[in-house]
């Protein structure tokens, strides 16, 4: 079959690498892709939110299946757009419709969903401009630290952890009254702070059946030792040693099953990925957030551990027979180190030539923010390359991924040298 993959980051590079290995994939197209995805298929110059452009690409390339990488087109209704159009209605889209994507698109929706289905999560309450005074009072009675979350998509920036009441009240005002995060903060969820260690759990579902993909740990802070500003993610490791069988059983029983069943009970059709951001609080799982897609840089560590034909699993999601598909997971350890541009996560350098990727021997180099300038690969994004090593033991995987980044060069590059070493 011909497959169209939407997106242009490291996640999409890892998807493309895996899809291209499938005998079921005749031709792979990536829109818009990056300088690396061209190794696995054909890049198309179409933006992920250009639905008409995507429709044209689907028709002209005889696409049989569309896999959506990032959340934005899902929240904006790309799946619904396909279903409403007679010419592309029968092309399956992997990724939920707009209503299901609200699990990520609205924190208030996801908190209410969890409450309705008794899914463990931090206590919370939602406020708007009209209920600002109530919100300020609520903060005064809440413990510290306290977490403020913009309801809508805010490019990963909409969550604030406040250490004092004064700070929390000032931030609440600024989010609700001064649109600190634009429209996204017209509603704010105030949430209890959870103490624990985080991990990302990934579920693939056809709406009735589900498969649990390899879990991963993401390293969000820019600095070594988990210090400094939050980023999209500076590295990842899979599997996660503290997510042992007993913990994962609790996750399946208390979170995954009620989530899939809850969607079904509420008549929210859902075909795609559910990314569950979890806190392990002394062995008890608490949901921090849902995302309606795979994680980045988690996917770069998850895909190499999937031994089965990934396209066959995608077909299972599309056809509603995921229960009949096989998911085999490697026992090996995958570690990913992100190489980022100088200045990231603030304003960062761009258009720097990248050299040395050909010297990497024992890792995959997944391109994230790159483009081709003639024959030269250059940087275009904050997160530039994801270097992933798959090895028999964790120490070797971490060491190899970290060592292989040193073989690559671009002006101003930065990466963390401590990804995963806390897990040893």
The residue within the footprint of ligand GLY, chosen from 72, 296, 309, 404 (CB under 6 A), is 296
Out of ligand GLY, ligand AMP, none, what residue 151 binds, judged by CB under 5 to 8 A for its kind, is: none
Question: Which of the stretches 12-20, 291-299, 361-369, 408-416 binds ligand GLY when contact is defined by CB under 6 A?
Answer: 291-299
Query: Considering beta carbons, is residue 192 or 308 the nearer one to ligand AMP?
Result: 192
- The first and second tokens of residue 196, run together, are 């624990």
Q: Which of residues 198-257 bind ligand GLY (CB under 6 A)?
A: 218, 233
Q: What's the token pair of residue 336?
A: 């990913």
CA nearest 217: which of 157, 158, 159, 280?
280
Binding residues for ligand GLY, total number by CB under 6 A: 6
Partner whose binding site includes residue 295, from ligand AMP, ligand GLY, none (CB under 5 to 8 Å by kind):
ligand GLY
Q: Which stretch binds ligand GLY (CB under 6 A): 62-70, 248-256, 288-296, 329-337?
A: 288-296
Sheet containing strand 65-68, strands side by side:
42-43, 27-32, 2-7, 65-68, 93-94
Residue 110 touches ligand GLY, criterion: CB under 6 A: no
Among positions 323-382, residues that touch ligand GLY (CB under 6 A) are: none
Report d(CA 100, CA 110) in Å as an integer.
10
Structure token pair of residue 135: 């919100």
What residues contact 105, with CB distance under 8 A and at least 6 apart?
Answer: 71, 75, 98, 152, 153, 292
What residue has token string 């890049």?
A: 43
- Bridge partners for 42 per DSSP: 29
Strand (E) positions, 134-270? 146-150, 159-162, 187-192, 197-205, 210-212, 217-218, 221-223, 227-230, 235-238
Residue with Cβ nearer ligand AMP (30 or 122): 122
> How far apart, in Å, do the first and last CA atoms of the chain sit?
42
124 binds, among ligand AMP, ligand GLY, none (CB under 5 to 8 A by kind): none
Site for ligand GLY in 149-178 (CB under 6 A): none
| Minimum CB distance to ligand GLY, residue 235 (Å) | 10
Minimum CB distance to ligand GLY, residue 292 (Å): 11
User: Which residues lie near ligand GLY (CB under 6 A)?
Assistant: 218, 233, 291, 295-296, 298
């Amino acid at each position: 079959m011909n497959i169209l993959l939407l997106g242009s980051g490291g996640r999409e590079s890892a998807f493309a690498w895996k899809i291209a290995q499938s005998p079921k994939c005749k031709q792979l197209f990536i829109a818009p892709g990056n300088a690396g995805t061209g190794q696995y298929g054909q890049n198309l110059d179409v933006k992920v939110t250009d639905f008409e452009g995507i429709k044209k690409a689907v028709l002209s390339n005889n696409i049989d299946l569309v896999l959506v990488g990032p959340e934005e087109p899902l929240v904006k209704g790309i799946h619904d757009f396909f279903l409403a159009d007679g010419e592309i209605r029968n092309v399956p889209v992997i990724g939920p419709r707009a209503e299901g994507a609200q699990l990520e698109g609205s924190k208030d929706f996801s908190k209410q969903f969890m409450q309705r289905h008794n899914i463990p999560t931090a206590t919370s309450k939602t406020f708007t401009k009209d209920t600002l005074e109530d919100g300020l009072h609520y903060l005064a009675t809440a413990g510290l630290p306290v977490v403020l979350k913009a309801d809508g998509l805010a490019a990963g920036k909409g969550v604030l952890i406040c250490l004092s009441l004064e700070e929390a009240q000032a931030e609440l005002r600024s989010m609700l009254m001064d649109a600190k995060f634009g429209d996204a903060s017209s509603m704010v969820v105030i949430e209890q702070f959870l103490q624990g260690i985080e991990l990302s759990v990934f579920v693939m579902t056809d709406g009735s059946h589900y498969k649990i993909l390899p879990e991963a740990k993401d390293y969000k802070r820019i600095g070594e030792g988990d210090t400094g500003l939050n980023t999209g993610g500076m590295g990842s490791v899979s599997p996660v040693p503290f997510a042992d069988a007993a913990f994962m059983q609790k996750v399946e029983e208390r979170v995954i099953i009620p989530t899939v069943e809850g969607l079904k009970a509420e008549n929210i059709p859902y075909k795609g990925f559910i990314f569950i951001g979890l806190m392990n609080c002394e062995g008890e799982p608490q949901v921090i957030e849902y995302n309606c897609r795979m994680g980045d840089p988690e996917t770069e560590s998850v895909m190499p551990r999937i031994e089965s034909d990934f396209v066959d699993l995608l077909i299972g999601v599309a056809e509603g027979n995921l229960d009949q598909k096989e998911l085999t997971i490697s026992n090996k350890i995958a570690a990913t180190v992100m190489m980022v541009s100088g200045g990231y996560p603030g304003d960062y350098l761009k258009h720097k030539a990248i050299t040395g990727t050909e010297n990497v021997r024992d890792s995959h180099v997944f391109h994230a923010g790159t483009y081709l300038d003639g024959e030269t690969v250059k940087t275009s994004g904050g997160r530039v390359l994801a270097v992933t090593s798959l090895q028999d033991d964790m120490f070797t995987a971490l060491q190899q991924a970290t060592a292989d980044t040193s073989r690559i060069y671009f002006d101003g590059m930065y990466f963390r040298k401590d990804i995963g070493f806390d897990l040893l």
